[in-house]
A and B are shown apart, each in its own frame.
Chain A
Amino acid sequence: MTYLAKPKVHHPDLPKNALGFTRRDYEGAISTLCAGCGHDSISAGIIQAFYELDIAPHRVAKLSGIGCSSKTPTYFLGNSHGFNSVHGRMPSVLTGAALANRDLIYLGVSGDGDSASIGLGQFAHVLRRGVNMVYVVENNGVYGLTKGQFSATADKGSKSKRGAVNNDQPIDLVLLALALGASFVARAFSGDKAQLVPLLKAAIAHRGAAFIDVVSPCVAFNNHAGSTKSYDYVREHNEAVNRLDFMPVRAPLTADYPEGDVRDIVLHDGGTLRLRKVDADYDASDKVAAMAYLESRRMAGEVVTGLLYVDPVADEMHAALETARAPLNALHDADLVPGSAALAAVNASLR
C-alpha cells in the first residue's frame, strides 16, 4: 500500500511529549504488511515507547536484516536514519554503527529466519560483545515473504498451513541470549501491548545488550490450528512471570500498585524498573534459575513471557574498548593524524 500517502495534517490538539513531539512524529510510512500482522502491533509499541520516553526521533538509528520483520523500520520513526542491510547480518552493521557513534540509540529489528537461521552466528556475537542496543526479534516461526516455509524457531511437530509437519528441534532465542551473555532478556507477545511497551522502554533505558523475543503471529501463513505461533495458541499458553513498569529518572515513584511481590530495579541512569511478580517462583536476577525454569515450561508447551533476566549493572562494548567519550565519527584531523614530526620519528626507528 505504498501508493497511499499518510495525511500530513495533524490534529491541533494532539498531546505532546516533553520535547514537544506528538506521537505522529514517531510514525513512519504506512505498513505494507498483511492486515492483522503481529509485526504492526510491535511497530506501534516502538512508536509509543520512544514517544513516552521523550527521545528525539533523529537520535535513534534503526537497523534490520531481510524479511517481513526487517521491513518494519520503514513503518516507524520516519525521522530516524534506517538501514535495511543484508539477510542475517544486521548485528554486524549495528555493531559498526555503534562503534562509530556511541551517542545514538540503536534499535535492531530482525525476524526468526533472519536471526535464528541465516544470522544465528551474528546474533550470538553481537550479544556476547555487549553492544549497547535493543535487539527485537519479531518471531512468527515462518518465512512470510517466501510464503510459509518453517523457520528455525518453529516447534517440533507444529503444522504448516499446507499440512507439513516440522521435524526439527526449535531454537529458543531467549535461552540462547541468556547463555550468550545478553544483560537484558525478555519475551513478549505482540498481542499484549500493555506488556510489550514497558519492556521496550526498559530495554531502551538499559545500558548493554538488550534482547526481546516478541512472539508475533503471521496471519497469512502461521495462524491456523496446529501452529504453535498462532494468536489462539499463544493466548492460551502465554504464562507471564511478571509485569513491568518503567519509570524514567524524572518520574516520581508513585505507589499506586496493588498488593503483591513488587521489586524495584535501578538502572545506570537512575531510571527504575518496577517488577510486579505474577509467578512467585520466578527471579529475574538469577540467570541459572531462569534458564532451568524457561526450559521446563517450554517442555510443558508454555510460552513464558515477561522480563526474564536483567543485570542492571552490566556494561557495554565501549567500556571494554576504552573508547573516547566523544563519538569516533566526530573526531577531526588534529585528533587523528599524528603529523610529519611523528612520522619522521617512525622513519628513524626503521633504519
Chain B
Amino acid sequence: MDTRVKRLSRVNDFVVKFANVNGSGSASANGLFARSILRMGVPVAARNIFPSNIQGLPTWYEVRVVEAGWRGRRGGVDLMVAMNPQTWDRDVAEIESGGYLFHDSTKPLPPSKFREDVNVLGVPLTAIGNATYTDPRQRQLFKNIIYLGALSALLGIEPAEIERLFAEQYKGKEALLDSNRKALALGREHALEHFDCPIGLRVERRDAVGDRIFIDGNDAAALGAVYGGATVAAWYPITPSSSLAESFAKWCRKFRTDKATGERRYAVMQAEDELASIGMVIGAAWNGARAFTATSGPGISLMQEFLGLAYFAEIPAVIFDVQRGSPSTGMPTRTQQADLVSCAYASHGDTKHVLLLPEDPGECFEFGALAFDLADRLQTPIFVMMDLDIGMQDWLCAPLAWDDARRMDRGKVMTAHDLDAGRDFGRYLDVDGDGIPYRTYPGTHAAKGSYFTRGTTKDRYARYTEEGPAYVDNVQRLLRKFETARALVPKPVVQPAAQPTNAGVIWFGSTGAAMAEALNELEHQDVHLDRLRVRAFPFDEAIVDFVAAHEHVFVVEQNRDAQLKMLLVNECGIDPAKLTSVLHYDGTPITERFITREIGEKARLYNVTPLPGNRHQVTGNRKAGGRAA
C-alpha cells in the first residue's frame, strides 16, 4: 500500500461494497461478513443490489457499518471489494477519495486501472485457492471465504465470531465446517503477513445491537400473516414478492403442521396467474377463511377487475404489494414506491382502498397481522404496501412482539344462532351506522341467511336491482365505510423538531431509514423540520392539521410523479403550493446524502429558519421511527 495516499480512518462508521458476479456463491460469504459485525455488537445496514438474472450478471452487496444505528444508505463507498472484472471501472470510480480497493491480484492489472487517491489491497485469491483446492467449484466457493478471511484481518473483525457462525450454519456437517475454517485462515494469514492490519477502517466491539433482530420484510410479513390467522395463500411468482409466499409456507410448516398426523392447518396455492391468485383469495375469504396474496406492480395491474369486485361485493382480501421499479416490467430487482395511486384507486369506476404503509420489517409483521383484522372488520381489500428495499433486504429491527391475549377480530358475521334469534339479515344493510353490514358464511343455516354475491348493483338485501336510488344508497354507504376505515387504520407518527419551525416534512415506508439520519444531519446544518410519517390511507385528520400548521412541507417519496402528494392534494383538499416534493426514483434506495442535499438546498431557498419560541409547536404522539435504537 502506497503510504503517500491519504487513508480514510474510521471506526465503526464506513461503507463496504462487494462487487460480485451473480451465481458465484458470494451471497453466503457476504452475509457472514455482515452478521459477524453484528455479533461484535456493531449495527450494520446491508443491501443486496442484484440483477434480474440467475447467473453471470453483476451483483453487489453493500454493508454499511454504522455504530449510530442508522438503517438507510449513506451514499458513497469507503472500501470496494472488486471481484467482478465486468464492473471494475465503475466500481473503482465509486470509491471515496482516500478509500480502499480490495481485489484479486493473481493477474496483474495495468496502473491505468487504478486511482491515485485510492489505497489498493491486492490479495492473490485465485492463486491461493488454486494452490489449495483441485475441484473448480470449491476453488470458486472458497475464494469467497478466503476474501472474507482477508477482510476480517484488514478490518479487525474477530475471527471467532465468523467461526461461531460457521458452526451454526454447518452443524452436523463437520467436513464443511473444517474446510470453511481452513479457507478463512488462509485469507487471514495472507492479509496479516502482507498488510499493516487493521487498515484505517476498523470494527471495534461494542454493545450497540442489543436484542435487535436481523430480518427481511417478506419473511416478517409472512410471519405476520401466520400470526394474523391467514389460512389460505394464493400467489403467482413475481420478484420481489415471491419469498413472502414461500416464507409463509416455511413458517406454516413449522407452526401449523400437526405433529402426529402431518395435517396442515393452511393451504398454499401457486396459481396460474395473478388473476387466479386474487380470485382464489376472494373465494376463500367469501367462504370465511383469512386469505392473502403477495405480488408486485404487474400483478396489481392484472388484479384490477377482481379488486373492484371485492370492493363492491364487500369481500375481505389482503394484498401484500412488494413494489419494484416500474411502470411495465420496469426494473424488477430495483426498488420504488410507485404503486400508491394504482392501489389506492384500483379497478374501474369509483373505488377507494385501504393502504397500510410499513416502514420496516418490524411493521411488516405488525401490519401483516393487522391487515387480516381490518379486512374482516371492513369487508374490503387491504393493501400492505411494501417495497423491494424493505421486502428483500435484512434490516435490524426491534424484536417482534405478540400479545397472547389478542384474538382475531372476525368482524360482523351473523351466526345460525343470530338468525334463529330472529335478527334481520340484509347483506348490505347498515345496521350500526358505520357503513359496515353483516355477512354470513356459506353453509350457516338451512333456511335463513343465504344471499347472492354479485358484482352488479343490488339493494340492501342483496337483491339485484338497477334502480338509481338503490345504487346511490349503496355507494354512499361504501363512503361511510371508508370513513370508518379512517378511524381504524394506524395513525401517523408525528414528532416535533428540536426547535420551533415553520417547515415540516412528510414521508412513508422505507424512506424512513434514510430520513431519520438526514433529519439529524439537517439539524446540524440548522435546518429544523417537524416530522410526520404517514402509515395508512385513508389519511388521518392529523395530516391535514400538520400541513396547516406549517408554511412549507416537504414530501419525500420514491417515485417520479409524487404519488403521496397527489393523494394528499386529492383527498385532503391541501393547497399543492404548500407541498414541495423531494423525489428519488432511480431504483436504488434513497440515501441520507440525497435527502440532506435536496431538502438543504430547498430549505435555504424557502428561508426555513428556527422560529422564536412562542409559536404553536407540533406535539409528537410517539417517536418518528427510523432509528430503532
Q: Quote the shortest CB–CB distance from A15 to chain B (angstroms).
A: 19
Of A56, A74, A86, A93, the contact of B286 (CB 8 Å cutoff): A93
Are the C-beta atoms of A99 and B442 separated by less than 8 Å?
A: no
Can you list, as one digit per residue, whether each of B199-216 has a CB less than 8 Å from chain A (1) or not (0)? 000000000010111110
B94 in contact (CB, < 8 A): no
Give the Cβ gap from B333 to chain A, nearest Cβ, in Å.
24
Contact, CB under 8 Å: B275 / A92: yes
- Give the docked Cα–Cα distance between A335 and B267 (Å): 14
Q: Which listed segment binds A: B22-30, B176-184, B255-263? A: B255-263
B400 at interface (Cβ–Cβ under 8 A)? yes
Of the 9-residue stretches A39-47, A150-158, A225-233, A324-332, which lies at the interface with chain B?
A324-332
- Which of B229, B273, B277, B464 contacts A337, CB < 8 Å? B229
Within 8 A of B (CB), among A104-141: 104, 121-122, 124-125, 129
- Segment touching B, from A196-204, A249-257, A339-347: A339-347
Chain A 305-350 residues near chain B, CB threshold 8 A: 318, 321-325, 328-333, 335-340, 342-344, 346-347, 350
* CB within 8 Å for A84 and B453 given contacts A97-B287, A121-B273, A351-B213: yes
Complex Cα spacing A56 to B285, Å: 23
Contact partner, A323, options B263, B399, B407, Cβ 8 Å: B263
Q: Contact at B263–A322, with CB atoms within 8 Å?
A: yes
- Assess the A84–B452 pair: CB atoms within 8 A: yes
Distance in Å: Cβ of A148 to nearest Cβ of chain B? 22
Complex CA distance for A86 and B188, rounded to whole angstroms: 63
Which of B154-162, B443-451, B518-526 faces chain A? B443-451
Q: Is the CB of B408 within 8 A of A81?
A: no
Min C-beta distance of B411 to chain A, whole Å: 13
Contacts of B289 in A (CB 8 A): 99-101, 328-329
Q: How far is the CA of A333 from the CA of B279 in the complex (A)?
A: 25
Query: Could you tell me if A122 and B288 are in contact, using CB atoms closer than 8 angstroms?
Result: no
Judge whether B231 and A86 touch: CB under 8 Å: no
In the assembled complex, the Cα of A243 lies from the Cα of B549 at a distance in Å of 80
Chain A residues with CB under 8 Å of B215's CB are 350
Given known contacts A84-B455, A343-B400, A104 and B443 CB-to-CB distance under 8 angstroms: yes
Task: For the complex, give the distance between the alpha carbons of A135 and B532 in Å.
Answer: 53
Within 8 A of B (CB), among A56-115: 56-59, 61, 63, 73-74, 78-86, 89, 91-101, 103-104
CA distance A80 to B442 in the complex (A): 7
Q: Does A146 contact B (CB under 8 A)?
A: no
B131 touches A (CB below 8 Å): no
B443 & A59 in contact (Cβ 8 Å cutoff): yes
Instruction: Look across to chain B and name the residue whose beta carbon is closest to the beta carbon of A324.
Output: B263
Closest to B230 in A: A336
- Chain B residue, CB-CB nearest to A318: B267
Whether A89 touches B267, Cβ cut-off 8 Å, given contacts A328-B231, A347-B399, is: no
Whether B283 and A92, one on each chain, are in contact in the complex, defined by CB atoms closer than 8 angstroms, is yes
CB distance from B273 to the nearest CB of A (A): 7
CA separation between A351 and B168, bound complex, in Å? 12
Q: Name the distance in Å between A75's Cβ and chain B's nearest Cβ.
A: 11
B264 partner, pick from A85, A321, A329, beta carbons under 8 A: A321
B443 and A61 contacting across the interface, CB-CB below 8 Å: yes
Pick the residue among B229, B262, B402, B450 that contacts A343 (CB under 8 A). Answer: B402
Please report the C-alpha to C-alpha distance between residue A350 and residue B214 in the assembled complex, in whole angstroms. 5
Find out whether the CB atom of B450 lies under 8 angstroms from the CB atom of A58.
Answer: yes
The answer to the question of B574 belonging to the interface, with a C-beta cut-off of 8 Å to chain A, is no
Contact B280 A96 (CB under 8 A): yes
CB distance from B428 to the nearest CB of A (A): 15
Q: In the complex, what residue of chain B is closest to A64 when comparing beta carbons?
A: B454
Are B223 and A86 in touch, CB under 8 angstroms? no
B400 in contact with A73 (CB, 8 Å): no
In the complex, which residue of chain B has the Cβ closest to the Cβ of A345? Answer: B254
For A125, give its contact among B211, B272, B284, B408 (CB under 8 Å): B272
Option from A59, A92, A332 in Cβ contact (under 8 Å) with B279: A92
Cβ-based interface call for B594 (8 A): no
A215 to B311, CA, bound (A): 35
Q: Does B423 belong to the interface (CB within 8 Å)?
A: no
Within 8 A of A (CB), among B74-109: none
- B contact residues around A78 at 8 Å (CB): 450
Is B370 in contact with chain A by the CB < 8 A criterion? no
The closest CB in chain B to the CB of A19 belongs to B446
Partner of B276 from A73, A79, A80, A125 at Cβ < 8 Å = A125
With both chains docked as a complex, state the minimum distance between the C-beta of A301 and any C-beta of chain B, in angstroms: 34
A57 with B446, Cβ < 8 A, contacts A95-B269, A99-B269, A350-B213 known? yes
* List of A residues within 8 angstroms of B234 by Cβ: 92, 95-96, 99
Candidates A99, A343, A350; contact of B232 at CB < 8 Å:
A99
Complex CA–CA separation, A59 to B442 (angstroms)? 8
Distance in angstroms between the alpha carbons of A325 and B260 in the assembled complex:
13
CA distance in complex: A82, B255 (Å) = 34
A2–B399 alpha-carbon span in the complex (Å):
59
A81 touches which of B232, B291, B446, B450 (Cβ 8 Å): B450
Interface residues of B in 280-337 (CB under 8 A from A): 280-289, 291, 305-306, 309
Which residues of chain B from 227 to 264 have a CB within 8 Å of any chain A CB?
Answer: 227, 229, 231-232, 234, 255-256, 258, 262-264
Q: Does A121 contact B272, Cβ atoms closer than 8 Å?
A: yes
> Does B408 contact A89, Cβ atoms closer than 8 Å?
no
| B325 vs chain A, min Cβ distance (A) | 27
Q: Are B271 and A92 in contact (CB under 8 A)?
A: yes
User: Taking the nearest CB of chain B, how far is it from the CB of A21, in angstroms?
Assistant: 9
Residue B174 at the chain A interface, CB threshold 8 Å: no
The reply to whether B452 and A328 form a contact with Cβ atoms under 8 Å apart is: no
Give 1 or 0 for each of A159-201: 1 = CB within 8 Å of chain B CB: 0000000000000000000000000000000000000000000
Residues of A within 8 A of B445 (CB): 58
Cβ of A346: which chain B residues have Cβ within 8 Å of it?
A: 223, 400
Q: How far is the CB of B91 from chain A (nearest CB, A)?
A: 31
Q: List B392-451 residues whose CB lies under 8 Å from chain A.
A: 399-404, 407-408, 440-447, 450-451
List of A residues within 8 angstroms of B268 by Cβ: 321
Does the CB pair A58–B444 fall under 8 Å?
A: yes
B401 near A328 with CB under 8 A, answer no
Whether the Cβ atoms of B404 and A2 lie closer than 8 Å is no
B194 at the interface (CB under 8 A from A): no
Most chain B Cβ neighbours within 10 Å, of A78, A97, A333: A97
Whole-angstrom distance from the CB of A201 to the nearest CB of chain B?
21
Given the known inter-chain contacts A103-B443, A321-B264, please indicate yes or no for A81 contacting B453, CB distance below 8 A: yes
With an 8 A cutoff between CB atoms, is B265 at the interface? yes
Which residues of the other chain, A, contact B278 by a CB distance below 8 angstroms? 92
User: Shortest Cβ distance from B311 into chain A, in angstroms?
Assistant: 12
Select from chain A the residue with minimum beta-carbon distance to B219.
A350
22 pairs of residues in contact across A and B, judged by CB atoms under 8 Å = A58-B447, A81-B440, A81-B450, A83-B452, A84-B453, A89-B276, A92-B283, A93-B286, A96-B234, A96-B286, A97-B283, A99-B232, A100-B232, A103-B443, A121-B276, A321-B264, A322-B263, A336-B226, A338-B227, A346-B223, A347-B399, A351-B209
- Chain B interface residues (CB < 8 Å from chain A): 38, 209, 211-215, 223, 226-227, 229, 231-232, 234, 255-256, 258, 262-269, 271-273, 275-289, 291, 305-306, 309, 399-404, 407-408, 440-447, 450-456, 464
In the A-B complex, the 3 residue pairs with the smallest Cβ-Cβ separation, listed nearest first, are A96-B283, A92-B279, A100-B289
16 more A-B contacts (CB under 8 A) besides A96-B291, A101-B443? A58-B446, A63-B283, A74-B452, A74-B464, A81-B440, A84-B455, A86-B279, A95-B269, A104-B443, A321-B267, A321-B268, A339-B402, A343-B400, A347-B211, A350-B213, A351-B209
